[in-house]
Amino acid sequence: MEYVNPLTGFRIDGRRPNELRQIKGELGVVANADGSALFEMGNTRVIVAVYGPREVQNKSQQNNNQALVRCEYSMANFSTGDRTRRQKGDRRSTEISLVIRQTMEASILTHLMPRSQIDIFVQVLQADGGTRSACINAATLALADAGIPMRDIVTSCTAGYLCSTPLLDLNYVEDSAGGPDVTVGILSKMDKVTLLQMDAKLPMDIFENVMQLAIEGCKAIANYIREVLLENTKQLESRRGG
Amino acid sequence: MATTARGGGEREPAAGSGGGGGAAAEMEVEAYRRLFPVAYFERHLRESVRLDARPLASPRDTSVALGLVGSADGSALVKFGDTTMVAAIKLEVMTPPAESSDEGSVAVDFYMPPICSPTVRPGRSAEVAPVISKQLSDVIMSSGMINLKDLCLINGKASWIAYLDIYCLNADGSLFDAALVSAVAAFTHCIDDGRVVTVPGELEGKTKLPLVNKDKRKLMLNNVPFSLTCGLHKEHILVDPTAEEESIIETFVTVVLDTLGRVVSVYKPGGSVLAYTSILKECITLAKRRAQQLRNILNESVSAMEVDKSS
């Protein structure tokens, strides 16, 4: 299948190889939560709600030096093309929950909130490739909305390699093509990589190009997230009458 | 809980003296609200208002948006104030069982993921979720909203099964009402896209239905049910309670009516307030009014969608 048109260079959804899908972020979508955000990357739509810092529910896990971070990832039954009844504790959900938790934990200043717990709940409403990345981006926005102190903005993006071209931000069709899929999560200002996952095989020099492309994508998303947060702060300020 | 800003952020009347001096009096209000919730609530009822300044018989602002989930065959987002529900329908083909070979089927599932409320713990779903799931399933089937025979494709060989999944994204009271409206709205929007069905054993392997109806076909709904939950506290009837009110009130009555104003279901699961016939009649009248309101809102959003499609 022609993932990149040899004549025009366009991908199947009309994007160029180094073009991100349309992204959109919105804060404060769940009124009950301490912080929440909706993040869309193309057709992938994810809601994250953050509860915390609050009292640890399981006292045996309480840590006297830092906050406990928990994450739960779940996909709605209608989120993918086929309706599948997903069990709560299935392997993929557990793995992604772990990945998101560890990625966010690298950025949250947990030592400022000892003996407490921060819950990050992720709900995927529509899945079209890049769900992991959309979840991390949404989690960053939700944590900011909850006022939880973080070292830096964490953003994530995927990149792949099909038809001898590095492609940025794969959608579901490109992801299922069987080519390599590199997911990168970075702390944008500090320029540090906190998450790096890859499936399939790539020669070393091509891997470097693909990873660099993904990092560029992350930085672009970080700029957008910064704008969203600034806009939100301005609105809060004007509501407060400042 | 909302924090008070000095410039009139809170809308409730202050307890005791009428909104006294600045920060000190307002701190007392918040503390009073947490420490003595029932007294705070009853103080409002005496003035015939509720905690969010609504009159007793007034429901919250309701909005319905259709077609939100692109990957589903029908979907709707419903908001009752802060309570948010997303419903989506996916149609799949199944072989009907022998005893109902000319009927399709509807499977209803209601989920309360941990994002919806601080009281829902991960790993353990909310207590009310399966209760509401069963209530919804019963009401949808018994109201006859969908004629299962409409869902049949080939008698005995293939029929539609409609999987309806409802997710609560924010739980702020009246969960059953919001879920029912979202289910009804999703069915209104549900479009059968005329899939071609191959039946094993037949030479042609194509059904007549999709070939004849090339255009997308909507499900025919009759007798659409609408519900209203009222809380009973002492002698007051409160329409469309929020989560805070639900934690104080112990008795609820849910009335479900259909398009012709007939009572589909009445549900009063215990509670300390005993309801005389007069109170139940009052609830039914309030439910009639609400059903009309919901019907208008639903029709508006359906016609808004149709305008979007044609333009």
Whether the pLDDT of residue A178 is over 90: the answer is: no
Query: Would you state the pLDDT for residue A169?
Result: 93
Check residue B16 and give its pLDDT: 44
Q: Give the helix, strand, coil percentages of chain B, each rounded to 5.
A: 35, 25, 40
Q: How far apart are CA B71 and CA A43, in angstroms?
A: 9
Interface contact B114-A47, CB threshold 8 A: no
Give A205's contacts (C-beta < 8 A, 6+ positions apart). Answer: none
The whole-number pLDDT of residue B273 equals: 84
The answer to whether residue B19 is domain-embedded is: no
Q: Which residues pair with A37 in a beta bridge?
A: A27, A48
Binning pLDDT at 50, 70 and 90, where does residue A235 land?
A: very high
Cα gap A160→A169, rounded to integer Å: 8
Distance CA B102, CA B153 (A): 8
Give the DSSP H/E element, type plus range, for residue A173.
helix A172-175
C-alpha torsion B176→B181→B184→B188, nearest 10:
-160
Residue-wise pLDDT tens digits, A36-69: 999 999 999 999 999 989 999 888 888 899 999 9
Alpha-carbon span A180 to A174, nearest angstrom: 10
**Which residues from A are below 8 Å from B when comparing CB atoms?**
29-33, 36, 43, 47-49, 51, 54, 57, 70, 72, 74, 76-83, 88, 119, 121, 123, 125-128, 240-241
- Judge whether A33 and A41 are in contact, CB under 8 Å: no
Q: What are the pLDDT digits (tens) for B243-259?
A: 999 999 989 999 999 88
Res B196: pLDDT: 58
- CATH of residue B94: 3.30.230.70
* Binary contact (B113, A121; C-beta < 8 A): yes
* Chain A contact set for B170 (CB, 8 A): 30-33
Position B69 scores a pLDDT of 86
Cα of first residue to Cα of last residue in chain B, in angstroms, is: 43
Nearest CA in chain B to A53: B118
How distant is the Cα of A173 from the closest Cα of chain B, in angstroms?
14
> Nearest CA of chain A to the CA of B135: how many Å?
20
Q: Do A76 and B115 touch (CB under 8 A)?
A: no
Chain A residues within 8 A of B243 when measuring between CB atoms: 32
Alpha-carbon gap: B118 to the closest alpha carbon of chain A (Å)? 7
For residue A36, list chain B residues with Cβ-Cβ distance below 8 A: 115
Q: List the structure tokens of B103.
A: 């009927």
Residue A122 reports pLDDT greater than 90 = yes
For residue B32, is it within any domain?
no
Reading the block at residue A8, the tokens are 């025009």
Largest Cα span, chain A: 62
Query: Hey, is B240 helix, strand or coil?
Result: coil
Measured CA to CA, the distance from residue A74 to residue A93 in angstroms comes to 6
Q: Is the pLDDT of residue B209 over 50?
A: no
Question: Would you state the pLDDT for residue A202?
Answer: 85
**Is B15 a domain residue?**
no
- Identify which of A76, A81, A83 has the shortest CB distance to residue B167: A76
In angstroms, rounded to a whole number, what is the distance separating the alpha carbons of residues B125 and B134?
15
Shortest Cα distance, chain B CAs vs residue A183, angstroms: 24
With pLDDT > 90 as the criterion, what percentage of chain A qualifies? 74
Interface test with A, best of B68, B73, B169 (most A CBs within 10 A): B169
Banded model confidence at residue B14, pLDDT cuts 50, 70, 90: very low
CB-based contact B274:B234 (threshold 8 Å) = no
Res. A199 pLDDT band, cuts 50 70 90: confident
Q: Into how many domains does chain B fold?
A: 1
Which of B121 and B53 is assigned the larger pLDDT?
B53
Residue B191 has pLDDT above 80, yes or no: no
Find chain B residues with C-beta within 8 A of A54's C-beta: 118
More confident residue, B294 or B217: B294
- Start-end of H helices in chain B: 22-35, 37-46, 128-142, 175-189, 208-212, 243-248, 277-310
Range of the domain at B185: 51-309
Q: How far is B261 from chain A (nearest CA, A)?
A: 33
Q: Is the pLDDT of residue B61 over 90?
A: yes
Which of the two residues, B9 and A117, has the higher pLDDT score? A117
Mean per-residue pLDDT, B268-279: 86
Among partner residues A78, A88, A240, which is closest to B88 by beta-carbon distance?
A: A78
The HSE-up count of residue A68 (CA atoms within 13 Å, CB side) is: 16
The nearest CA of chain B is from the CA of A106 a distance in Å of: 22
* Measured distance CA(B251)–CA(B232) in Å, rounded: 5
Q: Which of B82, B165, B243 sits opposite A76 (nearest CB)?
A: B165
Q: Which residues contact B93 (CB under 8 A, 6 or more apart)?
A: B153, B158, B159, B160, B161, B195, B197
Q: Does B164 touch chain A (CB under 8 A)?
A: no
DSSP single-letter state for residue B20: -
**Neighboring chain A residues of B165 at a CB cutoff of 8 Å:** 76-78, 83
Distance CA A201, CA A196 (A): 15
Q: How far apart are CA B92 and CA B89, in angstroms?
A: 10
What pLDDT shows up at residue B25? Answer: 65
Nearest chain A residue (CA) to B88: A78
Q: Phi and psi dihedrals of A84, rounded to 5?
A: -125, 140
CB burial of A157-186 (b: ≥16 within 10 Å; e: otherwise) equals: bbbbbbeebbbbbbbbebbebebbbbbbbb
3-class SS of residue B83: strand
> What percentage of chain B has pLDDT greater than the value 90?
38
**A226 pLDDT above the threshold of 90:** yes
- Which pLDDT belongs to residue B212? 35
Handedness of CA A78, B62, B81, B238 (dihedral sign): negative
pLDDT at B87 over 70: yes
CATH code of the region A23-240: 3.30.230.70
Residue A154: beta bridge partners?
A: A187
**Which chain B positions have a beta carbon within 8 Å of A30's beta carbon?**
84, 115-116, 169-170
CA distance A187 to chain B (A): 26
A6's tokens: 């040899």
Confidence tier at B290 by pLDDT (50, 70, 90): very high
Local confidence band at A213 (pLDDT 50, 70, 90 cut-offs): very high
Q: How far, in Å, CA of B153 to CA of B164, rounded?
A: 19
Half-sphere exposure of A186 (CA within 13 A, CB side): 23
CA angle centred on B212, ends B209 and B214, rounded to 5°: 100
Contact (CB<8Å) A76/B86 = yes
Q: What is the pTM of this model?
A: 0.81
Residue A222 CA to residue A6 CA, distance in Å, equals: 31
Q: How confident is the model at residue B297 (pLDDT cuts 50, 70, 90)?
A: very high
Partner A, chain B 193-252, Cβ-Cβ below 8 Å: 243
Mean pLDDT of chain A: 91
Dihedrals phi, psi of B268, to nearest 5 degrees: -130, 90
* Domain limits, chain A: 23-240
Query: Is the model's pLDDT at B204 over the cut of 80?
Result: no
pLDDT, tens digit, for every residue of B96-148? 888 888 888 899 999 999 899 888 877 777 888 999 999 999 999 888 888 88
Which residues from A are below 8 Å from B71, CB to CB?
Answer: 43, 78-81, 126-128
CB–CB of B75 and A78 under 8 A?
yes
Q: What is the DSSP letter of B221?
A: B
pLDDT value for B185: 93
pLDDT(B27) > 60: yes
Instruction: Note the pLDDT of residue B26.
Output: 66
Residue B69 in contact with partner chain A when CB distance is under 8 A: yes
